[in-house]
Amino acid sequence: MSLDATIWAWKVRQKQKKGGSLKPLKKLVLLSLADRASEDHCAYPSVARLVEDTDMDRKTVLKIIDELIEDGLIMDTGERKGRTKQVKVYKLMGVNGRETVPITVLFDAENDDLNSPNSGTVPTTEQSQQFHERVPTIPLNSPNVGTRNLSKNLSLESKNKKTWFCSKKLREEINLTDDGIDFESILNSTWLEREVRAFENYNAEKTMSDDLMIYHFTDWLINAYRTKYSNNQNSTSGKPAGTGSKSQQLSEKQIHAFALKLAHHPEFSGKFSEPGESYEKLAARIAVKLENPVQAKKWESYLKQVGYNGTLEGVAA
């Protein structure tokens, strides 16, 4: 997957066209393409794969692909992939980032040429002709692209990151979902690694970005903490859990977090957004509504879809 392409897809803002597909649905297809893009920002998922990713019907997906091409967001390269050579290859237009920066190749300290007595002098004709054969190169699609240029001062975690797991992002997601949970007690627990392995095995056949893995693992981990490892349903800090078994109201932090998630929820935003409204404005309107316990209760089913695990106070009117 291309991180730059995914970030670009999240930031793309589209106008609602008369007779066109809903913006959230177009965003979902664009994100699916970005999630499967290579480092040259090209993707070739089959239509069946896009249908499975987005839960849309084939006709809708094909219509949205045509609209994205018309909008100039993607381009049919003319190349075809797959066993039958019929799967179209699309290029995501306008993606810029570190993955497009030319690769700089650094010489090894043990390179024989550097230890030569001629090092620093004008190369001979033979050296000039053979120079290109001695310079190590890395294919653009190699997983090692850019690793030769990592600073020696970077942390070991930054140099050798081989997993989707990021404790900083996990801490943020858990705090947004339930700020009453003591994250440090989970991080230092003996059972965390076991739950990580179980989660990875459960999702082994699925293709998700690192951020999406963290998002779903947060719900997995909180559920495991409450049902299997916590002595009681309240957090160890003594604060009332915002998503515990007792009825609760959303905290201010939860309101803003879930408002942003609901703004990006395709079904919810498709039903409650106004034509041409940005995600930020929609999230702001949702946050105001969620401050009312009665309205929050009405949307409880949607809140649960984006990570809320508790029961809200009040009776839905």
Interval 268-294: pLDDT, tens: 988 888 888 888 888 888 988 888 888
Last residue of a domain, one of 229, 257, 276: 229
The answer as to whether 44 is a domain residue is yes
Q: Which of 104, 33, 117, 101 lies closest to 69 in space, CA to CA?
A: 33
Residue 291: give the domain boundaries: 247-312
Quick one: 16 and 79 in the same domain?
yes
The pLDDT of residue 62 is 93
Kindly report the backbone phi and psi dihedral angles of residue 184, in degrees, each rounded to the nearest multiple of 5, phi listed first: -60, -35
Interval 203-222: pLDDT, tens: 888 888 888 888 889 988 88
The answer as to whether 106 is a domain residue is no
| 3-state SS string for 66-128 | HHHHHCCCEEEEEEEECCCCCEEEEEECCCCCHHHCCCCCCCCCCCCCCCCCCCCCCCCHHHH
Kindly report the backbone phi and psi dihedral angles of residue 247, in degrees, each rounded to the nearest multiple of 5, phi listed first: -65, 135
The answer as to whether 218 is a domain residue is yes
> What average pLDDT score do residues 239-257 get?
66
Quick one: 200 and 270 in the same domain?
no
- Please tell me the pTM assigned to this model: 0.33
314 — pLDDT class (breaks 50, 70, 90): low
The pLDDT of residue 160 is 40
The answer as to whether 235 is a domain residue is no
Q: Count structural domains, the chain.
A: 3
The pLDDT of residue 9 is 84
The pLDDT of residue 269 is 86
Last residue of a domain, one of 78, 99, 120: 99
Q: Which range is least confidently modeled, 54-68, 143-157, 223-237?
A: 143-157
Quick one: 286 and 255 in the same domain?
yes
CATH number at residue 32: 1.10.10.10
Interval 26-72: pLDDT, tens: 889 988 888 888 888 888 888 888 899 889 999 999 999 998 898 88
The pLDDT of residue 180 is 81
Cα–Cα distance for residue pair 213/260, rounded to 1 Å: 18
